[in-house]
Amino acid sequence: MLQNIIVFILLCTTAVVTIMLKKLDTKAAVAAVVIGFAVWLGEGYTGIILLATFFVTGTLATSWKMHTKQQGGLAEQHRVQRTATQVIANGGVAAILSFVSFLSVRQQPLLLMVASSLSSATADTLSSELGNVYGKKFYNIMNFKKDVRGLNGVISFEGTIIGIAGSSLIALIYSAQAGFTIQFLWIVIAGTIGNLTDSVLGATLERKNILSNDVVNFLNTLTGAVISLLLYYF
């Protein structure tokens, strides 16, 4: 009980700091506290570290070379200070799975799925934010024809590799707790497939305004979790 209170206070303190630093708006900070506490209840320290890793790397990647992104028209103002829907889109699946884990007697493979959902979110954020900075050639994922940097569904080799590196970081943290097994590779695969799914949805349904970016991001993390579940059982 005392640990829960301490973690809740730390989450609230962190949320206040993110508001002061203008990384999250007030509603987003509240959503982050709820998601963080749900992850803590279900997955403990490992879950919190995984979530924090996504948030820190994503925030740094978004802020990296911001002036360059703004000059290229690649940095929308609302992405600097994240909203509640953006927070839920990236962390909602992890929170739901963690809460199920909290209520469940048999928790495996829920932690694996949480890690894979955050692997997908990390890969997507890093490949997009840093790929737009360091990418050399950009292609539409549907036909691999050259396309405009920054458009939905446009990828680069450099961005894809950076995304895989992000997934590998999440897999490394998970494996440090669960042990270095084939699940390390599963998390990287799940994150990469989730990231590519995000690009496919972006090139198709998002470009046609059928899905919003937040829905696409949620489906990205859900895809990562489902892929890891399939790998676990099959």
pLDDT level of residue 78 (50, 70, 90 thresholds): very low
Residue type for position 113: M
Find where tokens 């963690």 sit. Answer: 98
Cα 136 to the center of its chain, rounded Å: 24
pLDDT of residue 67: 73
Q: At what angle do helices 84-103 and 213-233 cross, to 10 degrees?
A: 30
- The pTM of the full predicted model, rounded to 2 decimals, is 0.93
pLDDT of residue 31: 98
Q: CB–CB of 96/103 below 8 Å?
A: no
What is d(CA 151, CA 168) in angstroms, rounded to the nearest whole number?
25
pLDDT digits (tens, 9 = 90+) for 143-153: 999 999 989 99
Q: What is the CA radius of gyration of the chain?
A: 17
Handedness of CA 9, 23, 216, 46 (dihedral sign): negative
Residue 53 vs residue 67, higher pLDDT: 53
Name residue 154's beta-bridge partners.
140
Q: CB–CB of 153/36 below 8 Å?
A: no
Q: At what angle do helices 157-178 and 26-63 cross, to 10 degrees?
A: 120
Q: CB–CB of 153/146 below 8 Å?
A: no
Handedness of CA 38, 40, 44, 49 (dihedral sign): positive
DSSP letter (8 states) at residue 232: H
Q: Is the pLDDT of residue 80 over 70?
A: no
Residue type for position 29: A
Number of domains into which the chain is organized: 1
Find where tokens 């692997």 sit. Answer: 119
Q: Is the pLDDT of residue 92 over 90?
A: yes
Secondary structure (3-state) at 139: strand
Q: CB–CB of 34/95 below 8 Å?
A: yes
| Parent domain of 77 | 2-233
